[in-house]
């Protein structure tokens, strides 16, 4: 698998091309170090707003522009553009049904040793409570580009969760077809599947490859749209499986795994479910993303052991 540009640059470059043809496209940010965003600002200074290091002000300005008919993108560290901005997002964007795209970079433990203030480990939980929002977590450059095109083609209230590191490509030209469904099966399995997204999707694929050497066929589903989830589509994707593992770089309370369980309950569908994620506490450990994940039981080998044991118990 090849590795290309980072998600942030791929997304912003796509919007830059649209903005060069459309004077109603605006970016709002205080970031002065993102390569693609710096290029956007140089090319389109009249379509860039420097909001200062005040993310709530960013959302307020974005709301005014969106209410005036502009296509508005806000960009900041994920932990700051979400938790700090929940109130203005609720009142200024959600209640007014304004089509603003909120770009958050460095989701989960993407900022590694920057500490709990920079960790974005509860954002799915509270952002999915905002009415009318769509939450998307691309896992590679292809999905980032296609999602960028969607935000321009069909403006709406969206939160896009972008990863910091370069990640391997997983879709090979298939993502555009999968996008309307909100999810896609990337590996076929027998009785057990893993549902994941973003950074953890790659970990799920590693686990599936490791368990395949043990003779276990584990399915992998990319749930790249965690809000809203189409219940009929999810049930169709899960129909081959008795056992479902949800894997996320989030605290388990109200996260992606909870969203999956809610859909299963609402649809009256019974599955054996194992939710794997981060502990419900703030993480002060240092040592890098892989180390912190391993300390939380989310190393590849650790996940493989949990999935193996779960599959064996529920299939007995």
Tens digits of residue pLDDT in 151-182: 999 999 999 999 999 999 999 999 999 999 99
User: Looking at residues 229-253, what average pLDDT do you find?
Assistant: 98
User: Looking at residues 18-41, what average pLDDT do you find?
Assistant: 94
In this structure, whether the domain defined by 182-315 belongs to CATH 3.30.460.80 is answered with no
- Full-model pTM: 0.97
Report domain extents, the chain.
Answer: 7-162, 182-315
Q: How confident is the model at residue 2 (pLDDT cuts 50, 70, 90)?
A: very low
Q: How confident is the model at residue 227 (pLDDT cuts 50, 70, 90)?
A: very high
Residues whose CB falls within 8 Å of the CB of residue 55, separated by 6 or more in sequence, listed in order: 30, 76, 80, 81, 84, 85
Return the minimum-mean-pLDDT range out of 27-41, 126-140, 208-222, 273-287.
27-41
As a whole number, the mean pLDDT across the chain is: 96
pLDDT of 4 over the 60 cut: no
User: How far is 114 from 108, CA to CA, in rounded Å?
Assistant: 12
Chain centroid to CA 8:
12
Q: What percent of the chain has pLDDT over 90?
A: 95
Chain centroid to CA 277:
14
pLDDT of 283 over the 60 cut: yes
- Whether 184 and 224 have beta carbons less than 8 Å apart is answered as yes
User: Looking at residues 254-262, what average pLDDT do you find?
Assistant: 98
pLDDT of 1 over the 50 cut: no
- pLDDT for 316 equals 64
Residue 272, SS3 per DSSP: strand
What is the per-residue burial (b if ≥16 Cβ within 10 Å, else e) of 142-161?
A: bbbbbbbbbbbeebebbbbb
User: Looking at residues 211-233, what average pLDDT do you find?
Assistant: 97
pLDDT of 63 over the 70 cut: yes
Domains 7-162 and 182-315 share a fold: yes
Structure tokens given for 1: 């698998």
User: How far is 173 from 187, CA to CA, in rounded Å?
Assistant: 16
**CA dist 223 → 87, 246, 249, 255 (Å):** 27, 10, 13, 12
Q: 7-162 — its CATH code?
A: 3.40.50.970
């Amino acid at each position: 698998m090849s590795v290309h540009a980072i998600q942030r640059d791929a997304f912003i470059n796509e919007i830059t091309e649209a903005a060069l043809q459309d004077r109603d496209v605006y970016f709002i940010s205080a970031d002065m170090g993102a390569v693609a965003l710096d290029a956007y600002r140089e090319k389109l200074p009249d379509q860039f707003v420097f909001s200062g290091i005040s993310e709530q002000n960013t959302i307020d300005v974005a709301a005014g522009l969106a209410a005036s008919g502009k296509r508005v993108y806000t960009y900041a560290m994920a932990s700051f553009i979400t938790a700090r901005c929940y109130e203005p997002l609720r009142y200024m964007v959600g209640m007014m049904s304004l089509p603003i795209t909120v770009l958050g970079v460095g989701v989960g433990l993407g900022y590694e040793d920057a500490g709990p203030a920079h960790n974005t480990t509860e954002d799915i939980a509270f952002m999915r409570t905002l009415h009318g929002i769509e939450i998307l977590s691309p896992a590679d450059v292809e999905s980032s580009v296609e999602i960028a095109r969607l935000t321009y083609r069909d403006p709406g209230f969206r939160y896009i969760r972008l990863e910091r590191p370069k990640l391997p490509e997983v879709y090979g030209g298939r993502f555009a077809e999968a996008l309307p469904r909100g999810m896609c099966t990337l590996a076929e399995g027998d009785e057990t599947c893993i549902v994941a997204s973003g950074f953890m999707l790659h970990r799920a694929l590693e686990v599936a490859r490791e368990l395949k050497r043990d003779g276990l066929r584990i399915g992998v589903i990319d749930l790249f749209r965690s809000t809203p989830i189409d219940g009929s589509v999810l049930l169709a994707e899960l129909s081959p499986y008795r056992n479902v593992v949800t894997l996320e770089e989030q605290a388990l309370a109200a996260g992606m795994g909870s969203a999956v369980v809610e859909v299963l309950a609402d649809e009256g569908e019974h599955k054996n479910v194992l939710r794997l994620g981060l502990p419900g506490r703030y993480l002060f450990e240092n040592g890098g993303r892989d180390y912190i994940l391993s300390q939380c039981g989310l190393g590849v080998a650790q996940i493989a052991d949990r999935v193996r044991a779960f599959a064996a118990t529920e299939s007995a």
